[in-house]
Amino acid sequence: MDYPPFGKIAISGPILAAMIQSFSTSAGAVDGLIFGHVTHVTTSNLSDDSESPADSNSSTFIATITGFFCSGTVNSFYDNTGTIESGLIGQFLDDPLRTHQSSLLGWFSGRRKTQLRPSMRERLVTTSLATDTQFSFPVKNALEPTDFKPCLFLLFASPPSDQIIHTHEYRAYQFRSCTDSFESKSISIVNIGPAFGGHYGSFSSNSPFPSLPCELHGSPMNEDKDHDRNHSLKDQRELDMCAEGFEVGRLRKMVGSEATNYTWSLEDLYEKMLVKMGNLAIMVEDSSAKLCEQEKHNRELRYKISKLVASE
């Protein structure tokens, strides 16, 4: 019985960077195991517009990669014919020092100066791994009991020809037993939590934001409220001087129906700030050049003085 296809594969940026680092710093080709979980997600496409079509729901399976193990070599858990050695994989899964208690999603392979497509041996290894029932695992949040087998395969490769800029390419595949072939899958790099983005659909707000009061008040925690208020107003005046009069009170005009009339003023303020930063950078560069020139002049003077002292 074939299992459903992945809607997408999610992986955090640090984990993907660590996998690429393990491949790029190795002496040659490498392979390893991938761990994580599969979640059944129902996405709701909502809208607050009464004239829009009725809300619709769609469900998909998301494979989230939460960890990996890199062997540093090849043929680490399989032989030359592509047959896996279940004992080696089981020993690693049962290791009490393993920090991630996730399921086995599949494996990965990294090789240099090759095309970014699976080889015959990689297909045999994935087939052998995906047909082993002892590594199957349940799907989280599934409406009906659903088990997945380790059918995920990630391939890392460097370009076949030498390039000035060193790059690495990667691609994810899911092995489907119904077609006995790989299906290319998209990879979503998530940097704010592995299960965050998949719970939201194409919701877009059509209602205007309410008018928010943006007024400056003194801190009630201080005993001398008058002194605190005067101090806050002084700081605000200094801030307004740097912002060229774009005080806090004008921020409330940036929400609501009048926002479009004041957007250009923020853009103009931003451009002026960039000009000031550019001028400041030029001043710093000129000051550094003058400082280097003064140090050179001081060295020449010290050299002349040392010659005069030596001649005496």
**pLDDT tens digits, residue range 29-39?**
999 999 988 88
Angle at Cα 16 formed by Cα 15 and Cα 22, nearest 5°?
A: 90
- pLDDT per position as a tens digit, 209-239: 455 454 544 444 444 555 556 666 676 666 6
Q: Which residue, 173, 131, 171, is CA-closest to 152?
A: 173
Counting Cα atoms < 13 Å in the Cβ hemisphere of 204 gives 3
Domain contains 3? no
Q: Are residues 119 and 233 in the same domain?
A: no
Nearest to 106 by CA among 77, 81, 80: 77
Write the pLDDT tens digit of every residue in 46-60.
555 555 555 556 678
pTM: 0.56
What is the overall mean pLDDT for the chain?
76
Q: Is 67 in the same domain as 141?
A: yes
- pLDDT tier for residue 159 given thresholds of 50, 70 and 90: confident
Domain count, the chain: 3
Same domain assignment for residues 273 and 133: no
H-assigned helices in 59-166: 86-93, 120-130
Instruction: Kindly give the pairing relationship between strand 147-148 and strand 137-138.
Output: antiparallel
Q: Rounded to an integer, what distance in angstroms lies between the CA atom of residue 272 and that of residue 266?
A: 10
pLDDT of residue 276: 85
Element (H, E) at 181: strand 181-185
Query: Looking at the domain assignment, is residue 89 inside a domain?
Result: yes
Residue 109 sits in a domain whose CATH number is 3.40.140.10
What token pair was written down for 5? 């296809």
- Alpha-carbon span 40 to 37, nearest angstrom: 10
Contact at 8 Å (CB) between 38 and 61?
yes
Whether residues 156 and 215 fall in one domain:
no
Domain span including residue 242 = 209-250
Residue 1 within any structural domain of the chain: no
Distance between CA atoms of residues 288 and 280, nearest Å: 12
Beta bridge partners of 68: 34
pLDDT at 27 over 80: yes
Within 10 Å of residue 30's Cβ, how many Cβ atoms?
23
Has residue 137 been placed in a domain? yes
Q: 221 with 293, same domain? A: no
> Mapping DSSP to helix (H, G, I), strand (E, B) and coil, where does residue 257 land?
coil
Is 214 in the same domain as 90?
no
